[in-house]
Amino acid sequence: MGESVYRKPVAVFVACLFAALCALVLHAAPAPSGAPKLRIASLPATAPTLSAEQVVYGALDASFVPGNSPYTPNAADTRRWYRLATDRDWNAASPPVLSFTGATYIRITVYAPPGYQPEGLWFAQTEGIHRFSRHHLAVQLPQDLRAGQPIYVEIASDSFTRQIKPTLTDMAHYQAEDLAHVRLTTLFASVQFTMILAAMCLWLVLRDRVLSYFIGYATFQLVYQMLMSGEIYELPGGSLLVPLGTRAPWLFATLSAPLSMSFILEFCDLREITPKAAKIMGWMRWPFLPAALLIWMPFAVRTNTLVNSFNLWFMVTSIWSLGAVILAALRHGRQARFFLIAWMPQVMLTLLRVLQILLKLDLPPWLEYGYPFTMAFSCVVVTIGLADLSLRARRERDMAHHLADHDALTGVLNRRALVRRLHAAIADARLHNEPLALLFLDMDHFKSVNDRYGHQVGDACLRAVAEAIADELRPTDWLGRYGGEEFVACLPGASHDNAMHIGERIRHRIETLQVHSRGTTLQTTISMGVAILGDQTDTADELIARADAALYRAKLDGRNRIVAHSPFAATGH
């Protein structure tokens, strides 16, 4: 029953979030504009000494080879030239926009009519005023673009060949799509930042190591995501990351991995639940540190082996971590279940993204926005898990404090706690110039109960008597077990007459109390001594001693009675 109650709201929560993703992606998907199609021709990969004037002014037009592919891929180690042209004249109401997808950190130069002046496009560009976001590298073309009119494009070299796709869109549709993109990326980044900020506030109070790991890996993942979207270069200080180029996202991805694994180990309590898998997982974090150092080497960005090795190790560690978390969840690890809910969507979207890259397919909007969505979703769910973990830790702490201050048998204050509270009550009474009374209570003939019926019946009798005494006290009074069958009740604000009245009420309640335990019904009585706080020199120890002396007098006078300490007269029954 408990499991079904737990799973149902979680399933509804996940379903609602993914429904929201679908709605946002559909809203972000561009509407068809009916734009003319681009015809793409390319020059073979040429040496860098080829001048732009030779290409732009038509000297090499005969060397361009038409292609059927919609892509303009870059080349490794050399730049490439493309000539683009439309199949019909541009006749839309708004001017055309030429955009390139898949050109992250690759410089593109566009030579467009009528002047064919170079216009540089770069993902990490920070100078000047940007008309569009960094979703695509885009440039506006003339409104009177004619069919067959050439547009020359120079794509810089890179270590890896990428499928760069040019697209022609009218300005109105492109700006609508661009605005929707900015809204989505801002939304996902804002959610992640808010969750990180909430975790930082918790860390300032709790100083918990698991919160440190979460803040670290979530921050690095957020920076990585903003580097891949380019939005980080719009922020103050973003220009400092420009010299790193492609090293920047690799660096933050490498640093986030070991912190993520450390967080999983702590958050899911894997060292306790799955110790062997956790030990291996702990060792698997260390190769990321030399990888982070290698990224700074000049050869790093041009070494496919290093990149492929990092990707392979990242996949291995992810699969191992996922297996360890699943095993912990199967062993009833509550936090592991939280993390599975948070992490599984991100793992699935990551695998789909890798397949899309390997198969060289176009990036659909649901996958493009799905990955940052799952990162934001993961932060939300993990933050909920952290709150749940903090709540359980607080409950355990409160329980520990309660057990430290309360008697395990009767549930009332223990001797150490009652003495501490008595000191505070005396100081408060003197501060407000109010009276304070103390009752010292002792069960009559309790040893004979233990001897005759056994300690279990005696314990039941102690619990029943403690509960009966507490029921007769006022809300401001409190009760503690001084030792054995002795109890102390503190009565703040009570005068001598008030204390005697409360004591008599307790005595009568105990006298008529019937205790049922292990097939036995028994009755007991109680004797009490009363002491009243004296002058400014009176101490807690002296107050207890006077109440104890009055109790001793009650015992001598025949038990089952209440006696006030001299100079007050004793009252007996």
User: CA nearest 479: which of 435, 438, 523?
Assistant: 438
| Spatial separation of the C-alpha atoms in residues 225 and 375, rounded to whole Å | 9
Instruction: Express each pLDDT in 289-334 by its tens digit.
Output: 888 887 777 665 555 666 667 778 888 888 899 899 999 989 888 8
| Residue for token pair 């809300």 | 475
Lookup: tokens for 425: 């009550």
Q: Return the DSSP state at 241.
A: G
3-state secondary structure of 86: strand
Q: Which residues sit opposite 59 in a β-bridge?
A: none
CA within 13 Å, CB half, 356: 15
Write down the pLDDT at residue 152.
94
Q: Is the distance from CB of 216 to CB of 203 less than 8 angstroms? A: no
What is the Cα 257 distance to its own chain's centre?
16
Residue 540 near residue 427, CB atoms below 8 Å: no
Whether 223 and 238 have beta carbons less than 8 Å apart is answered as no
Would you state the structure tokens that stand for residue 281, as one six-digit string?
């997982």
Nearest by Cα to 155 from 167, 165, 145: 165
Domains (range + CATH), the chain: 38-175 (2.60.40.2380), 184-399 (1.20.1070), 415-564 (3.30.70.270)
List pLDDT tens digits, range 5-26: 445 555 566 566 656 656 665 5
Cα 265 from Cα 278, distance rounded (Å): 7
- Contact assessment for residue 256 and residue 227, using Cβ atoms and an 8 Å cutoff: no
Which helix (H) or strand (E) element contains residue 264?
helix 247-267
Q: Kindly tell me the sign of the dihedral angle through the C-alpha atoms of 307, 308, 311, 314.
A: negative
Integer Cα distance of 442 and 483 in angstroms: 10
**Cβ distance 327 to 274 under 8 Å?**
yes
With residues binned 3-state (H G I as helix, E B as strand, rest as coil), the percentages for the chain, rounded to 5, are: 55, 15, 30
Q: 331 with 273: CB under 8 angstroms?
A: yes
- State how far the alpha carbon of 554 is from the alpha carbons of 293, 510, 532, 536, 550, in Å: 82, 16, 16, 27, 6
- In single-letter form, the type of residue at position 190 comes to S
- C-alpha–C-alpha distance, residues 265 and 134, integer Å: 36
In order of 17, 343, 351, 377, the CA distances from 24 in angstroms are 11, 21, 22, 14
| Residues counted in the chain | 573
Identify residue 422 by its one-letter amino acid code: L
The whole-angstrom distance between residue 124's C-alpha and the CA centroid of its chain comes to: 30
For position 4, what pLDDT does the model report? 44
Per DSSP, the three-state class of 405 is helix
Give the global pTM.
0.68
Please check whether residue 140 is in contact with residue 95, taking contact to mean a CB–CB distance below 8 angstroms: yes
Beta carbons of 40 and 167 less than 8 angstroms apart = no
User: What residues pair up with 86 in beta bridges, in sequence order?
Assistant: 38
Instruction: Decide: 109 and 147 in contact? Cβ < 8 Å.
Output: no
Pairing mode of beta strands 520-522, 137-140: unpaired
DSSP structure string for 30-75? PPP--PPPEEEEEPPP--TT--HHHHHTTTTGGG-EE-S-S-----
Residue 428 to residues 425, 434, 435, 536, Cα–Cα distance (Å)? 5, 8, 10, 12
The amino acid that residue 134 corresponds to is: R
One digit per residue, the tens of pLDDT, for the chain of length 573 reads 444 444 555 556 656 665 665 666 555 555 455 678 899 999 887 655 678 888 888 888 888 999 888 888 887 778 889 999 998 999 888 999 999 988 888 899 999 998 899 999 988 887 766 788 888 899 999 999 999 899 999 998 877 778 889 999 999 999 988 898 888 888 889 989 998 998 898 888 778 888 899 999 999 999 988 888 888 888 888 888 888 777 888 888 888 999 999 999 998 889 999 999 999 999 999 988 888 887 777 665 555 666 667 778 888 888 899 899 999 989 888 888 878 888 878 777 777 776 776 676 777 777 888 888 888 888 887 877 777 777 777 777 778 777 778 888 998 999 999 999 999 999 999 988 999 999 999 999 888 888 888 889 889 999 999 999 999 999 999 999 998 899 999 999 999 999 999 999 999 999 999 988 888 888 899 999 999 998 888 899 999 999 999 999 999 999 999 999 875 444 444
Cα 559 to Cα 184, 387, 568, distances in angstroms:
80, 55, 18
**363 by DSSP, 3-state: which?**
coil
